[in-house]
Each structure stands twice: as C-alpha cells, then as structure tokens.
Chains A and B, each alone.
Chain A
Amino acid sequence: MPMVKISTLFHRVDGFDESGTSFNSTDTMDQVLGDNFLDELLGPVEFDPGDKLVNTILEQI
C-alpha cells in the first residue's frame, strides 16, 4: 500500500486568529455533566418559606 503523508499542522485563516482565546471542551463537558448531576441530586430539595413569610414582605411594601 502506498504511504500517504498527512499534515497535522493547522494553519491560521485570516480573521480567525484564536491564539488569544482558549477553549477546553473537557471543561465544558464537565460543566454539563456536573449540572446534570446537581439537577438530579438537588432537584427534589426545595424548601418553601410559607405564605406567612411572603405576606410579611408584601405588607412592608
């Protein structure tokens, strides 16, 4: 089989210089997974302050 040489270099295209920015797909994926985990864990955990407390605030307006 003939050998094919593939360049692994990426060349900057004018107008798309991203050298000043960073993007880490692992971090983004971690955040999504983390948020999903927290939604599952803390989703059922909500406490209500009760109407009385809310009415106390509204009376002060």
Chain B
Amino acid sequence: MNDQELVQAYIQGDQAAIESLINRHRSKVYTYILLTIKNQQLAEDLFQETFIKVIQSLRGGKYRDNGRFLSWVIRIAHNLIIDHFRKEKQMNSVSNDDTEVDLFNSKKLSDDNIEELIINSQIKTEIRILINQLPDDQREVVLLRHYGGLSFKEIADQTDVSINTALGRMRYALINLRKLIEEKNLTLTVY
C-alpha cells in the first residue's frame, strides 16, 4: 500500500496502517530532527511529539492528501523544532549542542559485520561533521530538501523567505560542502 492508501485506511479505523506509516518513514524523520538539533535525547522527544501530532491531525481531519505524506510530516517536525527553540530562548536554557549520538543505532547497519559497521560509522560521523559546519540557514534548506523532499517553494514558505533566497542558500550550502569535502579529502562512496 502506498502512503495515501495507508492514510485512508487509518482514517477509516485501521490501526495497523499508522504503524506501517511510522515504520516506513521513521528513519528519515528521526535523522532530519537529529541532524537539525544535534541532541539525541531531544531528538527522541521531538520525534515522539511529531508523530503524536501527525496522528492527532489525521484523526482531526486536518490532513489534505496531496500524495506527499513525508513532506507533511517533516514540516510538522520543523515547526515543533522551531517551537522548541522559541521556548528555549524564552527560558534562556543551556546549549543544545550534544555530539554524543549513538552511531550504531541504525536500522541500515543491523546486518553488517563489525568492520563495515565501523567504516560506516566513521563515514556517517564525518558527514555529520560536514553538515554541522554549515551555517544554520543553509543546513536547514539541505535537510528539508533531502530528508523531507520539499520543493523550493515549500522550503521558502516553511522558512519564511523568498524562493530565490532558498535557492541561494542551497547553492551556497553545496559550494561549502564541496569545499569542505575537498579540504578534508573525503571520498563519498561507501563501498
């Protein structure tokens, strides 16, 4: 069943449908949140909040299906992240920068042997470091585009800028990433 069919099934009372939807998209949504906020505990909380909100919205009939369920979920996650930082700013709380992430907590790696696991973890770590070196506004565009599949119009709406600004941020992000890869002499191919 595709996303649209699963959404319809859930709305009509099929509880297993929402489980399928969450399992299908959980890694992309979680990775988007984790790479955005850089804190594992907070990412887990916001991941939960995101899907609770998704479920509430589906039950409340607030989802207008245009065949892009994942983009919708990522937009909800993005809004919750913004809400969180607004609250945090008001409370003037501590830094969110926590690089202690469980790199082995990956579905994709579950069947790999230890050596591959370590190599993959190193590559992931290096790429995470690259992404973290981008300015916030450029990282935001990159993550919304890649993990959420948002169009530049949607990114512009979501981040409250013009399409040209969103495109420009992506352009600079790509230039910066290529430069960093060259500087660090990284090879992108995993195998």
- Chain A CB within 8 A of B44 CB: yes
Chain A hits for B30, CB < 8 A: 47-49
Footprint of A on B, CB under 8 Å?
15, 18-19, 22-23, 26-28, 30-31, 34-35, 43-44, 47-48, 51-52, 55, 101, 103, 105-108, 120, 123-124, 127-128, 130-131, 142, 145-147, 152, 167, 170-171, 174, 177-178, 181, 188-190
Digit string of A24-41 for contact with B (CB within 8 Å is 1, else 0)? 000100110011011111
Closest-CB distance, B69 to chain A (whole angstroms): 16
Q: Are B152 and A34 in contact (CB under 8 A)?
A: no
Chain B contact residues: over half helix, strand or loop, or mixed?
Answer: helix
Other-chain residue from A37, A39, A45, A50 in contact with B31 (beta carbon distance below 8 A): A45
Closest-CB distance, B119 to chain A (whole angstroms): 10
Other-chain residue from A30, A40, A44, A54 in contact with B23 (beta carbon distance below 8 A): A54
Q: Are A60 and B52 in contact (CB under 8 A)?
A: yes
Instruction: Give the docked Cα–Cα distance between A37 and B177 (Å).
Output: 10
Closest to A56 in B: B48
Chain A contact residues: over half helix, strand or loop, or mixed?
Answer: helix
Other-chain residue from B44, B47, B171, B177 in contact with A41 (beta carbon distance below 8 A): B177
Closest-CB distance, A32 to chain B (whole angstroms): 12
Closest-CB distance, A43 to chain B (whole angstroms): 8
Q: Are B34 and A47 in contact (CB under 8 A)?
A: yes
- Take A34-B170, A35-B145, A38-B146 as given contacts and tell me if A47 and B105 are in contact as well, using a CB distance cutoff of 8 Å: yes
Other-chain residue from A34, A39, A42, A54 in contact with B26 (beta carbon distance below 8 A): A54
